Each structure stands twice: as structure tokens, then as C-alpha cells.
Amino acid sequence: MLRHLIRMFVATCLPIATLTAQGSIFGTITDSLHHRPLDGALVQIVGDSSKFSKSATTDSLGAFRFDSVPAGSYIMGFFHPSLDSLGLELSPRRVIVRHGSEQHVDMMIPSAWAIETQLCRGTPMRDSTGLLLGHVRDADTQQPRTGTVTVSWEELTIGQGGIKRDRRLIPVKTDAMGWFALCGLPSDDNLAARAQAGDEESGSVLVRVPAGGLLMRDFLVSRADSTVAVYAAGDTTSSAARIPVATLRRGTARLSGVVRDYKGKPVNNASVSVPGTGIDARTQQTGTYALSGLPAGTQSVEVRVLGLEPKSVTVDLERSHLTTLDITLDRPVQTLDAVKVYGTGNTRLADFERRVKAGWGHILTPADIERRHAFQSTDLFRTIPGVRVVPGRFGNVVLLRNCRPTVYLNGMRMDDQAATEIDQLANPDEITGVEVYTTASRPVEFWGNNCGSVVIWAGMLPR
């Protein structure tokens, strides 16, 4: 509304006569979202009858000032790129200037709670939920794209029937300018988010919305220059009938940088990868890494090395362009001594220990899992004989004997797609035991398909 009025007045503006009755307007603009002054905001005033208009830009302290303003009534507002990202239309202020007076007017970007109230009408707001908003744009041209942003996460519900896995998936369509808002998302938890606009798409990235607040994240999408189909090794099916385990996107974007530890020292032999592409590299002694053949758009970069907590970083890549991204692994991993817990009456623990002693299958005990310092749950399977972890479209896929095994979580059989979603079933710090069985070795309680079985215990066994 304010933008329209200003354009109308400027378009019909007449030469301004010199007036003796003048005053001043000054003030500050605050970004209430980040609790700081708003630098670089365009502040404008438009007169009701004098056809007077004037503009100013806030300084580093968020301050602005208009001098020599003719006495009269004005509408006043401000513009800033963050307002477009928020999708907000702020109501203009009415200011009366009198001869020789100084009018003090402060304005602000609303707080997260106020923005949620405006954008999330009809959605219950809680301290444990938050808001994700932003724009979807083309990675090459930065032009808005009309499409869909999808956020997904896993919820485990404990009831009388045991543990039930509920995969939550919330899609939202953008408007004509590519703007979107997702309300009521669980806060302070890792959520997977991706954007798609026709045949253009982004990678899947981790987002965390603050409790009772909002997170602004734009998504850049692009077409893949090429794709690579991944098939299970040893698949004897004819090429026309084979179904790929995953289809990986490739492009011409490049990424390089340096990986350092929390002391600022270069990290050697760290694994750097971009999920969904099948492309990874190892850092040199100087901590440098280089990746090429990546698709343009918003992607995740994952870094892991023994002794330091793994990290996932979001980056925006451009086609045929080198992007530099330095990453700091700022949290050392503390190695805990193995602790044995003795007790009676724990049937699950007794059965687990019985299978360990019997030597059935391949089993990871709580102590084994502690030593692996896994970044993702599928990392626990990488060193188990007969198990392959291959990159999938939106995560890693666990294969046993080149096929997808039946997956059990805390004794409950999961659906047939669970082998492609193990990273979403449970976080690695929640997993306390893993069992892997071929068809010949598995216990009858973990029977399943003709591939074998994977049994995951999350929080059910003592560490």
C-alpha cells in the first residue's frame, strides 16, 4: 500500500515551492528479529497535499533524518530486502510536521511472535514450534520460481502397541514471487527441507527453527546437467528391467575450501561430501578440499573425521562457478569408557546379550557404537561385513547382499522402504545396539524378506 502511494505521488510530483514553515523528522529503525539496528533501510515520506516526497537511508545505527520538511501531514514508511523475505506489508505511519518542530519517529521490523501471529493465522502457536519462511529462486538468474517447499521429519510414538514411527511431511506452495511460509514446525530439532519448481530442485538440507521464533532460508533450484543411476552390485536383471537404488544429480558447480578444527589447525584426511550427488573428497594435510561436478542450487556439505563432531553446512552453488567454503569442526568428541550395567528383569537386554554370546550375525554393542562417533545412523553400518551404504537421492541406503533388508526398530518391523530411511529412524546418539543378519543366521523373531534383517535398538539398551 505504501509503495503504491509513494509511486503515485512521485509520478505526479510538481515543482516544490520554497516554504518558510518547515520542520524535521528523525528517528531509528530496529530489527526486532535480531535485536539490532537496521542498516541500509530506505525511509520515505510523502505529503498529503503539498506533493512533497523525500527519501533517506539508515546508517549503521539504524538512524535517519529529514530536514527542511514543509509543515503538513505525511505518510511514512520504510523498505528493506528482509521485509520482502518475510513477506510483510507494514502499515504506513502518519506524521504531522509543524513549523519549527522536530518529530521523533521510531519504526521496527516486528518481533518473531508478531510475524507468526500475522502469517500463521489458524495455526496454533506454541513455545515448542517455529516458522520457516523465504523464497525459492533460480540458481542461475536469481529470478523467483513458483514451486513447492517440503519439510520432513520422523516422530516416534510410544504406546501400548510398542513404538510407532510416524513420518511427518509438510509441503507448501510458493506464491507467484516464490515466497513461502511453513508454520507450526517442531523447534530445536533437525528437519530435512528441499525445494522443487518443475524440473528444477535443490538438495535436501538440514534446518532448525528456533522455539517460538522463525528461520529465514531461501532455496536456490536448478536443473541437473546429468544424472547417474546407482544399481545394486551383482544385480543380474536385464538393464531394461533394473530399478536403480538411487539416481544422483550432477552438474558443473565446484566447491573448495579448508577444514579446520576448534583450535584453527588444518584437519587432514577429513571426508567432505555433498549428499544426493555421490561426490566426496578427502582433505589434504593443509586441510584443503576440492569437489567438482556438483549440481547448482542450495546443497548440504557434510564433513566428518575421527575425533571431531561431524558437521553439516548449507551452501548455495552456482553453475560453472567455484564457490569457496571454509568449515570449522568446533567440537571435539569425548571418548567415553565402556560401562557395563548389570540388572535383572530386562528381557530385551538378556536376549540381546544371548545373541551376542551365540555369535549370530554381526552385532554392535553400546561400546562399539560409542567408539564409532557416527555423524549419521548409516555410518554405523559402513564397517560391518556384507553391508553396503550407498548414496541415495535424499539420504544413504543400506544394502545387505546387494538388496534392501527388512528393518526392525526396537523389535517392531518397519515398512519395506525403511532401508532407505535409516538416517530418519533414529539419531546416532540415540542408537544403543545394532544387529545385522543374513537369511541363514537371523533369529525367528526378526524374520522378514529374502534379503536379511537389520535390527536397531534406540534407547532400549544401557550404554
pLDDT digits (tens, 9 = 90+) for 379-410: 899 888 888 888 776 678 888 877 888 998 88
Of 2.30.29.30, 2.170.130.10, 3.20.20.70, 3.10.20.30, the CATH number of 347-458 is 2.170.130.10
Query: pTM for this structure?
Result: 0.67
Does the domain formed by 246-329 have CATH 3.50.50.60?
no
The conformational region for residue 139 under phi > 0 = left, psi -120 to 50 = alpha, else beta, is: alpha
Read off the pLDDT band of 31 (50, 70, 90). Answer: very high
CA of residue 175 relative to chain centroid, distance: 21
- What is the distance between the alpha carbons of residues 446 and 380, in angstroms, rounded to a whole number? 20
Give the β-pairing of 219-221 and 205-207.
Answer: unpaired
User: What is the fold of 2-109?
Assistant: Immunoglobulin-like (2.60.40)
Nearest-10 Cα torsion for 166, 171, 172, 174? 160
Q: Do domains 246-329 and 347-458 have the same CATH topology?
A: no
Q: What is the pLDDT of residues 137-192, one digit of tens each?
A: 999 999 999 999 999 887 766 655 555 667 788 999 999 999 999 988 888 788 99
Least confident window among 169-173, 218-222, 420-424: 420-424
Give the Å distances, CA to CA, from 197 to 87, 138, 178, 377, 428: 19, 9, 9, 30, 33
**Can you give the residue ranges of every domain in the chain?**
2-109, 112-221, 246-329, 347-458
CA–CA dist 11, 15 (Å, integer): 12
Look at residue 351 and tell me whether its pLDDT is greater than 80: yes
d(CA 172, CA 183): 10
CATH of domain 112-221: 2.60.40.1120
Q: What is the mean pLDDT of the chain?
A: 83
